[in-house]
Structure 1
Amino acid sequence: MRVNSNTKARTRAAAGLTVAALAAGATAGAGPATAQPKAAPAAPAAADCSAAYRIEQKLSSGTTWRMCWRYDGKAGLVLEKISYQPKGEPKPIRVLNSARLGQIHVPYDDGSVEYDDLTGFDFAQGLMNLAPGECPGGTIKTVKVPDSWNEDPNVKGLCTTTRSRGHAYRMQGDTANKVFQAQGKDLLVYTVNQVGWYEYMTEWRFQDDGAITMNVGATGSLSWDDYDAGDGRGWPIGKGASAKATSHSHNAFWRLDFALDGSTKNKVEQYDSTVSAPTRGQRAPTTKTKVTKVTKELAGDSKAYRWWRMVSATGKNKDGHARSYEIVPGVTTKYPGRSYTKRDLYVTQYNKCELFASHNPGNCGPGAGKSVDKWVNGQTLTHPVVWMNIGFHHIARDEDQQPMPVHWQGFSIAPRDVTAMNPLTPAELNWQNGHWRPRR
């Protein structure tokens, strides 16, 4: 993705947007397009924003997701006031105050350059127009891009649609001819932003079982400016060794501001399990899990048998268990080259100034620093904010040209005790909550 200057990248992105806008016939005017598909019927406790900025989708399984959206001049798409209502729940359950990217940091292996795409390379201004075929069965919303260098700042760039994800569950019943199975459905929300030679697909998948998966997919082109890598810092992609693409990393950060059951006073817990060899009289190794209540800001690392959850301070499910969301890290290659990329997860006390994991533009107070690692200073957590870091080391290959296949990186948050049973449980199995033997 490297280019020689900000100006060059800006020119390429602007040209791409202009051509795409003409091809897509983008409409003029501020804010969302005036011609919108029919809105979903208003539901009780719908997301508190105007219809133009509301996303509401009831999936075929009965689950409804509601949220508001806005477009930030640096972060791009921001989703706010996100709630989840599975069938059987009388009202929506608030999950997040806001969810968005927190940075995409791109250092090159030869040490020649590194980029902070959100705060330093006009990520938001590179929002791309989407062709109708890129949002099958869905709606493409028009976004007004702040500080756009385009003649028309209105970009048809936000897709909301639904997707199948395969089996949600499968279970053989008590009789051979009875199989319980269901195909899972997701609400998919995504944008495409061009930065230099790369195009970033930022997608949010809201599953009918309550999980949320967030991914960044890099596609577009390899930068022809960087076909000059030295030994050990690139990969030959042309005839012989005539062109070596310089290797680089993509360190993507997400910022999640939880508000479980409508309250930001959530609690953080860390779980660590230890496996011990069998002792005399035991047939197998034993495993014991320890919970640590995280009361102060945290810089944490993923490891085997470790996980975290955000716990509601106010809400419980029908079994009387505190609602929570578990953080499920994706595959990552942690980059040790910068202090803020050395850890997988940060939990900080909310500060409206702390918006980006690196090169944060705001002055957040004396000694606060410009990166997330500097904000972890022992404050007591009363309004915790989660920062997740997922890295990818891109060593190019012949198949990366041309165009480059999407390579994804991301993570999920999964409901833990948000509902008393699987929210997709078929009616004839509802009685089995806590029961281990067939009903007589």
Structure 2
Amino acid sequence: MHARPFRRARVGHGRDRVPARTHVRTHRARLRRAALLAAPLLLGTAALTSGPAAAQAVSPAFPASPPAATAAGCSTPYSITQTLEAGTTWRMCWHYDANAGLVLDNVSYQPKSEPRPIQVLTSANLAQIHVPYDDGGNEYDDLTGQSFAQGLQTLDPGECPGGTIKSVKVPGAWDPDHPDVNGLCVTTRARGHAYRLGRYPGETTKIQQLQGKDLLVYTVNKTGWYEYIVEWRFSADGTINMQVGATGTLSPADYDAGDGRGWPIGKGAKDYATSHSHNVFWRLNFGLDGSSANRVEQFDSTTTAQSGALTPKTKTVRTPVAKELAGDAGPTRWWRVVSNIGQNKDGHPRSYEIVPGRSSKYTGRAFTRHDVYFTEYNKCEQFASNNLANCGAGAGTSVDRWVNGQPLRHPVAWVNIGYHHIARDEDQEPMPVHWQGFQLAPRDVTAMNPLTPPELSGHNGHVE
């Protein structure tokens, strides 16, 4: 095994300290320590993944309708299928990895106007949650060093309204006698306006508006004092939102930040909670139109002033990304992954744009210094840091080491979104959820908005 060991907390500091609140928590902590000792052995192989053992049925989010076809490549228990407004259907498979937790496979999207599903992703999952503390005393790789997957939490029915809570068999469970956890929620959630087109003055035409719902798939994973809500949202217009919400409680052992690297919590200015970062990575193995032979493009816009009172001009340049890339986001820079074989009905190649959310870049490690990585597919490269598998001599164990000039024929995207957590009084207790994530936006996947009402279906291209 070729793995970078995670750094242990010093005595009385951080997550390894056993909480003494109740016997139950002490018991869990003991189980967790046992899991930590075994964690380096939990390579993400087929033998260490699982699908649902059963499902707890709850009332469906939509009225009963003829069953849609399941996702390609999995049986019904491993399949998620949901039809949303305007007849759009999302399909995907899922499995549970011993380190990454929830993994989505063969994700496809089918608007009502399309004769067959359009595959978007071959697989998608978290690839690391890297947590360094500001005082330099602790640093964690939560997925591959802190038993993230084994911390899958049982969900209360009230957390999955109108949906289904699926039972997950957790590989390497802390309690091997009870490995099945009712911990995967599949439901829908309102997202507000999908679109709106109102009247101009003097018109009496119909106000076009549609209230949308998302397919929501999520788990909650407990790591130390934190609980991570790992959400995947799929919209009827083809958009995918990925985000992680951190909640739980502040570590009671991390109140020694008297060196200016923390924030006073509680009465007066005696207890200083240590500030730290959460650097979350996602790994996206694209498979647009069922093919791994996708290409990557980068777009940059530059604005130049004109003389006098003339409006400045903006020029956008497209640059093909032919080789592996460590990319830095900017106010007018973006990337898209483009299908080499699929086009929409207008003859434009289908693609998905990566839209990063707000991020606080942590520059303390080489692998966190860039916002997006594109690497050539290698089955061995699974985690953005502390990659557990041995990928060969000199290969390294983090994503920055894998950007070495290979041509991109089967690109894998790694997205890094950082959050610098400076605690506040309101973090006690429980801690309000703070979110970090990004979006995949369809770009020319369909010839028009797939939710376009029939009376506007002729408005494609220039309309007088």
Q: Please give the range of the TM-score, normalised by the shorter of the 2 chains.
A: over 0.9
Secondary structure in 2 aligned to 1:109?
coil
TM-score, with normalisation over the residues of structure 1? Answer: 0.92
In the superposition, relative to structure 1, how do residues 157 and 187 fare at CA in structure 2: closer, same or farther (>3 Å)? same
Query: Tell me, which stretches of 5 or more residues in structure 2 are unaligned?
Result: 1-7, 32-49
Distance 2:80 2:29 in 1: 28
Distance 2:56 2:220 in 1: 22
Distance 2:26 2:350 in 1: 44
Matched, 1:118 2:143: yes
Are the aligned partners of 2:56 and 2:166 in contact in 1 as well (CA < 8 Å)? no
Partner of residue 379, structure 1: 406
Distance 1:74 1:217 in 2: 18
Partner of residue 285, structure 1: 312
Are the aligned partners of 2:70 and 2:76 in contact in 1 as well (CA < 8 Å)? no
Matched, 1:390 2:407: no
In the superposition, relative to structure 1, how do residues 273 and 13 fare at CA in structure 2: closer, same or farther (>3 Å)? farther
Distance 1:182 1:269 in 2: 32
Are the aligned partners of 2:70 and 2:80 in contact in 1 as well (CA < 8 Å)? no
1:4 Cα deviation from its structure 2 partner: 4.8
Partner of residue 87, structure 2: 62
Match of 1:367 among 375, 394, 410: 394
Select between 406-415 and 47-56 the one with higher mean Cα deviation.
47-56
Secondary structure in 1 aligned to 2:28?
helix
Select between 45-54 and 330-339 the one with higher mean Cα deviation.
45-54
Matched, 1:153 2:179: yes
Partner of residue 32, structure 1: 53
Map of 1:70-149 to 2, 5 A cutoff? 70-149=95-174
1:34 Cα deviation from its structure 2 partner: 6.0
Matched, 1:255 2:283: yes
Deviations 1:231-275 (A, max 9, x none): 321011111012111000000000000000000000000000110
Are the aligned partners of 2:70 and 2:79 in contact in 1 as well (CA < 8 Å)? no
Are the aligned partners of 1:298 and 1:348 in contact in 2 as well (CA < 8 Å)? yes
1:6 Cα deviation from its structure 2 partner: 4.6
Deviations 1:286-324 (A, max 9, x none): 000000000100000000110000000000000000000
Distance 1:173 1:366 in 2: 65
Deviations 1:200-221 (A, max 9, x none): 0000000111000000000000
Are the aligned partners of 1:40 and 1:56 in contact in 2 as well (CA < 8 Å)? no
Matched, 1:316 2:343: yes
In the superposition, relative to structure 1, how do residues 34 and 255 fare at CA in structure 2: closer, same or farther (>3 Å)? closer
Partner of residue 221, structure 2: 193
Are the aligned partners of 1:61 and 1:185 in contact in 2 as well (CA < 8 Å)? no
Distance 2:15 2:429 in 1: 23
Partner of residue 23, structure 1: none
Partner of residue 401, structure 1: 428
Are the aligned partners of 2:119 and 2:287 in contact in 1 as well (CA < 8 Å)? yes
Select between 235-244 and 98-107 the one with higher mean Cα deviation.
235-244
Match of 1:163 among 164, 189, 193: 189
Distance 1:415 1:399 in 2: 37
Matched, 1:217 2:238: no
Are the aligned partners of 1:189 and 1:203 in contact in 2 as well (CA < 8 Å)? yes
1:45 Cα deviation from its structure 2 partner: 7.0
Are the aligned partners of 1:273 and 1:306 in contact in 2 as well (CA < 8 Å)? yes
Are the aligned partners of 1:300 and 1:344 in contact in 2 as well (CA < 8 Å)? yes
Code of the residue aligned with 2:156 in structure 1: it is A
Distance 1:69 1:294 in 2: 30
Distance 1:50 1:415 in 2: 28
Matched, 1:410 2:437: yes
Partner of residue 268, structure 2: 240
TM-score, with normalisation over the residues of structure 2? Answer: 0.88
Partner of residue 206, structure 2: 178
1:17 Cα deviation from its structure 2 partner: 12
Map of 1:290-309 to 2, 5 A cutoff? 290-309=317-336
Are the aligned partners of 1:6 and 1:121 in contact in 2 as well (CA < 8 Å)? no
Deviations 1:100-142 (A, max 9, x none): 0000000000100100000000000000000100000000000
Partner of residue 275, structure 1: 303
Match of 1:328 among 340, 344, 355: 355
Secondary structure in 1 aligned to 2:345?
coil
CA RMSD of aligned residues (A): 2.2
Secondary structure in 1 aligned to 2:458?
helix
Distance 1:321 1:30 in 2: 37
Distance 2:428 2:316 in 1: 47
Partner of residue 15, structure 1: 28
Distance 2:65 2:420 in 1: 42
Matched, 1:420 2:447: yes
Deviations 1:81-113 (A, max 9, x none): 000001111110000000100000000001001
Distance 1:5 1:217 in 2: 19
Q: Percent identity?
A: 64
Code of the residue aligned with 1:197 in structure 2: it is W
